[in-house]
Structure 1
Amino acid sequence: MSLRSALLVAGFALAALNLRPAIAGISPLLDEIMNDVGLSPAGGGAITTVMVVCLGVFGPVTPLLARRIGLDRTLLAGLLVIAAGVALRGLDGAPLLYAGSALAATAIAVMNVSMPGVVKQHFPTRVNLLTGVYVSCVVAGAAAASALVVPIEHVTGYDWRAVSALLAVPALLGALLWLPQALRKQAGGQNGPRPFGMVLRSRVTWYITALMGLQSLTFYVMLAWLPTIFLEAGLAADQAGYLLSLTNAVQVGTSLAVPVLAGRRASQVPYVVGAGVLTVLGYLGILLAPTTLPWVWMIVLGIGQGASFALALLIIALRPSDPAQVTALSAVAQSVGYVIAALGPLLFGFLRQVSGGWTVPLMAGLGVLAAQILAGWFAGRPATLGRADL
């Protein structure tokens, strides 16, 4: 591998690492943030809600931005805006906290949509491998942020504002590493026909969108409620936290390996269905025996969820024929997907409230997983996004 190629891959990986810390780094500091700023629990929860909503709402602007300035410069702009957003929310006052969070999440939304197109543009013969690198870096970035922000606070003596602002550093490093690529001549805007019309009229688009949204919903449900489920089942708080960390850690390796294997085949159906079945088994273990070998259920759940996320992004990159179509498909699938995902934890909590336990919510989750497997069956079949499937 040449030095230029190595720097390209390194810059791409570092950009991917920045796609979740601004979100994942809030939760461990939330109690301190609420006490310092004077927020109610609803106000504290609204920080994450605002960010997830931005992920869904602002993704569709990415194809327009990429058409005007190019994917490489769009990615560079996203990294710089993430840095600005996390720095802004560390300033004094609740309005700046929300504004900075929204700004960072808007940049993440644009980068989320851009990354599959960047894979298609720069690594057309290695889509499976680089999708694995991309997804594993996203998962690793989330895990690292949630695990490290509190220890960094204790070691440095900084308050939450300074620690949150430190998340700008990796974004700026990523921008610096990606800058030479963005300055190259071919980083200009994408030419040719506008791809949105074709993408929106394609049945394949909506199969993939359903897969993306449903697997995101089942993931965010577990992210939001898993520790509470284990606590109410009788496990200690530290055990509940460790189990959540375990399932997230398992996803890193799974996200790297599965796209490499699945991308070698024309059909991803066996992998998508298998990932869905493993997620079902994880849900069933939590439902039927949460305190019996819970680490086994977390490993199974982590493999299933990590593979499902990686496969959804792999299929987004594989089905279209060019980077512009990939970006448009990514915008539709991820924007709609994150809106669907944002409803999951809320509806899950509502079912818990009205039913008085976790059986009904988890059964509902199993129903969603059945729909996910069905969507994956159609999305994973060999197809090329284009006029042939309109």
Structure 2
Amino acid sequence: MGRGGRAGVVIAVVLLAANLRPAVVAVSPMLSDVRADTGLSSPAAALLTTIPVLCFGLLAPFAPMLARRIGLVPALVAVLCAMTIGGLLRLPEPVVLLFAGTAVFGVAIAAGNVLLPVLVKREFPDRAGTMTGVYSISLSTGAAIAAGTSVPLLLLLDHAWRPALALWALPPAVALLAWLPLLARDRSVAAPAVTEDQWTPLWRAPLAWAVTGFMGLQSLVYYATVAWLPEILIASGSTQERAGYALSVFNLVGIAGSLIFTLTVGRTRNQTGYALSSAVLYATGFGGLLTGHLDFLWAALLGLAQGTTISLALALILLRMPDAAHAARMSGMAQGIGYLLAASGPVLAGAVHDASGGWSWPLLLLGALLVPMAAAGAVAGRDVTLRSPTTIGVRS
């Protein structure tokens, strides 16, 4: 591929990655308005951020099948089309369509989550770690834009939260323009077929389970934080607008975490340090939220942690696998099982809040989950790679 062709792929990857989080992140700053208008309970409202994560888990293993059937680029184009439809479904008044649109978004994002790393492995096999950092930055940027503009947009529309949510159908429609040239030149299926004999050892490999565990636990902590950080800050005395800005800080600083990872991952063969340091940052941020002061500082520390962990989780899928075929299967396994685990985060935190009457116990629970997250990251971060398809060991 020529330099111009690679640049086109990078642009397309960046634009698609930037659309993989706003549909979820944009909801949490508006939860107060949604609940006031619809009468939803805390756990029911949390489903608006949990349904996509459930889709990520339940449908992730099927994404490689879609790519094998219609091709990787056509599958990713379909992802953007589905995102546009999902956004428009959230505009009509019936609450059921709000959940239906959210589910369509979840289905689309599930496929995008799994297949985008495969595209990176196929197109940039020599720079997989760096390119993972690039689209991780795009993930954080898209989330930050959504978090930072949701409340001002809501105020501009006089608290009309339905059109405020539906407007997120526009960015994926724009991103389609960058993908159409790739669709025209796509010449092969991006996720090569992997036989069952090759698939079975992946499930038996401790390394694969370590990657999956880290993906799931960091996602659980992230989505629980995204869902409830504004509510936690409002309960501590912040205004809705300030809480929305703090969520934006959380996501903006996540860009810095992804950028640091991108600039440094190529210099080290062992990624254990990223897992341990991000766990410490998360713990410090949660501890700070318990004090009820310096909300922007704690949001920034949490953002630095989440930017590092998502970059690391995505990079491990590629760095621990020998080729794009195994990366596709590892992506489906890690994100399928991992996001099913993550889906419990927002609902569990909301349920613990309702039971305890405050946010201290939910924060302590998330802090406790950092221990197994760091342990899984330490194992998966070692400089090892899955061996040949017929074995279950690892090699240096």
Fold in common (TM above 0.5): yes
1:317–1:364: structure 2 CA closer, same or farther, 3 Å change rule? same
How far does the alpha carbon of each residue in 1:99-144 deviate from its partner, in whole angstroms, 9 at most, with x for none?
2221121011000111111110111122122111111111111221
Q: C-alpha distance in 2, partners of 1:372/1:157?
A: 41
Which runs of structure 2 are paired with 1:26-37 in the superposition (5 Å)? 26-30=27-31
How far does the alpha carbon of each residue in 1:42-86 deviate from its partner, in whole angstroms, 9 at most, with x for none?
654433332222122111111111222222221111111111221
**TM-score with structure 2 setting the length:** 0.88
1:40 aligned onto 2:40: yes
CA RMSD of aligned residues (A): 2.6
Q: C-alpha distance in 1, partners of 2:191/2:299?
A: 43
Choose from 349, 373, 393 the match for 1:389. 393
Q: C-alpha distance in 1, partners of 2:161/2:243?
A: 24
Q: C-alpha distance in 2, partners of 1:189/1:127?
A: 15
- How far off its partner does 1:371 sit? 1.1
1:319–1:359: structure 2 CA closer, same or farther, 3 Å change rule? same
Which runs of structure 2 are paired with 1:232-247 in the superposition (5 Å)? 232-247=235-250
User: Which residue type is aligned with residue 245 of structure 1?
Assistant: S
The answer on whether the counterparts of 1:315 and 1:380 sit within 8 Å (CA) in structure 2 is yes
Q: C-alpha distance in 2, partners of 1:368/1:168?
A: 34
Choose from 244, 251, 254 the match for 1:251. 254
Please, which moves more after superposition, 153-162 or 231-240? 153-162
Q: C-alpha distance in 2, partners of 1:150/1:31?
A: 11
Aligned to 1:303: 304
User: Which residue type is aligned with residue 290 of structure 1?
Assistant: G
Q: C-alpha distance in 1, partners of 2:243/2:164?
A: 25
Aligned to 1:130: 131
How far does the alpha carbon of each residue in 1:295-354 deviate from its partner, in whole angstroms, 9 at most, with x for none?
333322221221111111111121111112112111111122222122123333333444
1:241–1:334: structure 2 CA closer, same or farther, 3 Å change rule? same
For structure 2, the residue ranges without an aligned partner over 5 or more in a row are: none
- How far off its partner does 1:31 sit? 5.2
Which runs of structure 2 are paired with 1:200-215 in the superposition (5 Å)? 200-215=203-218
Q: C-alpha distance in 2, partners of 1:163/1:227?
A: 17
The answer on whether the counterparts of 1:58 and 1:335 sit within 8 Å (CA) in structure 2 is yes
For structure 1, the residue ranges without an aligned partner over 5 or more in a row are: none
1:22–1:345: structure 2 CA closer, same or farther, 3 Å change rule? closer
Q: C-alpha distance in 2, partners of 1:234/1:39?
A: 23
- How far off its partner does 1:192 sit? 4.4
The answer on whether the counterparts of 1:68 and 1:190 sit within 8 Å (CA) in structure 2 is no
How far does the alpha carbon of each residue in 1:164-214 deviate from its partner, in whole angstroms, 9 at most, with x for none?
333222212222211221232423364443353232222111101111111
| Count of equivalent residues | 387
The answer on whether the counterparts of 1:82 and 1:107 sit within 8 Å (CA) in structure 2 is yes
Secondary structure at the aligned position of 1:60 is classed as helix
Please, which moves more after superposition, 1-10 or 130-139? 1-10
**TM-score with structure 1 setting the length:** 0.89
Aligned to 1:290: 292
Q: C-alpha distance in 1, partners of 2:161/2:47?
A: 17
1:262–1:147: structure 2 CA closer, same or farther, 3 Å change rule? same
Please, which moves more after superposition, 2-11 or 42-51? 42-51
The answer on whether the counterparts of 1:69 and 1:189 sit within 8 Å (CA) in structure 2 is no
